[in-house]
């Protein structure tokens, strides 16, 4: 019901002023995956991340992070720790002349030990709640937007929201039991390659 309300609001926005976005998973896509890490000093960008985001930014896409942070619900770190994480990401991207347009996280997990966060929410991927919230708050052109992530839950969230998707493959092998919502539009090895795919697909310029 909540997601339907968000979609209704989205449809009422002025389409002429909408801007496309690329929604980016954090751990394993934008930065190297260090499980449940909130220490800014341990954050390392993945190969090709800056180059890929620069291509997308120059092409006019907003750059928005969408990330599950169940460590909050599990009691591994307080929600306030994510402030420093966002600040560090903004700082690192600024070094590449990039602006982080949004940082959206879900602190919940239904099996969490912190009661405030131990809920079955609408924002934890593969549910599309965070994406839809960002669409409203940033007036995003969803049909021309993309989600890049390294898990099938990322792909499913992007498809449920209504944007195109790219799976960062790493060492993943095709899973014959995947649902149609988990089959990405494209597969790429790095964020840089994903950006090239997006630009080629949208005919912004030829690779």
Known active-site residue 27: yes
For residue 132, give the nearest of 158, 153, 156, 109 by alpha carbon.
158
pLDDT for 206 equals 38
DSSP-assigned states of every residue in 73-119: TTTSS-TTHHHHHHHHHHHHHHTTT----EEEEE---TT-SSTTT-S
- Residue 136 exposed, middle or buried by CB count within 10 Å (0-12, 13-18, 19+): middle
Q: How far is CA 85 from CA 40, 41, 73, 107, in A?
A: 6, 10, 17, 14
Question: pLDDT tens, position by position, for the chain (207 residues)?
Answer: 555 545 555 454 445 589 999 999 999 999 999 999 999 999 999 999 999 999 999 999 999 999 999 999 999 999 999 999 999 999 999 999 999 999 999 999 999 999 999 999 999 999 999 999 999 999 999 999 999 999 999 999 999 999 999 999 976 555 657 789 999 999 999 999 999 999 998 764 433
pLDDT for 153 equals 96
Query: Which pTM was predicted?
Result: 0.88
pLDDT for 204 equals 47
Domains of the chain: residue spans and CATH: 2-8+17-202 (3.40.50.1000)
Catalytic residue among 25, 141, 150, 154: 25
Helix, strand or coil, per DSSP, at residue 193 = helix
CA gap 118, 168 in Å, rounded: 29
The residue count for the chain: 207
Known active-site residue 122: no
């Amino acid at each position: 019901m909540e997601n339907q309300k968000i979609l209704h609001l989205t449809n009422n926005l002025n389409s002429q002023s909408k801007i496309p976005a690329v929604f980016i998973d954090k751990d394993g896509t934008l930065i190297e995956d260090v499980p449940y890490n909130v220490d800014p000093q341990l954050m390392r960008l993945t190969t090709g991340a800056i180059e890929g985001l620069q291509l997308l930014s120059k092409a006019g896409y907003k750059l928005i992070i969408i990330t599950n942070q169940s460590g909050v619900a599990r009691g591994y770190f307080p929600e306030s720790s994510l402030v420093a994480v966002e600040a560090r990401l903004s700082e690192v991207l600024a070094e590449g002349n990039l602006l982080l347009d949004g940082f959206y996280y879900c602190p919940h997990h239904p099996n969490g030990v912190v009661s405030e966060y131990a809920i079955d929410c609408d924002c934890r991927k593969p549910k599309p709640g965070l994406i839809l919230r960002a669409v409203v708050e940033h007036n995003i052109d969803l049909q021309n937007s993309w989600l890049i992530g390294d898990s099938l839950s990322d792909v499913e969230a992007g498809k449920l929201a209504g944007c195109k998707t790219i799976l960062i493959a790493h060492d993943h092998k095709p899973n014959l039991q995947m649902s149609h919502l988990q089959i990405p539009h494209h597969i790429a090895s790095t964020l840089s390659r994903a950006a090239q795919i997006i630009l080629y697909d949208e005919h912004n310029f030829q690779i």
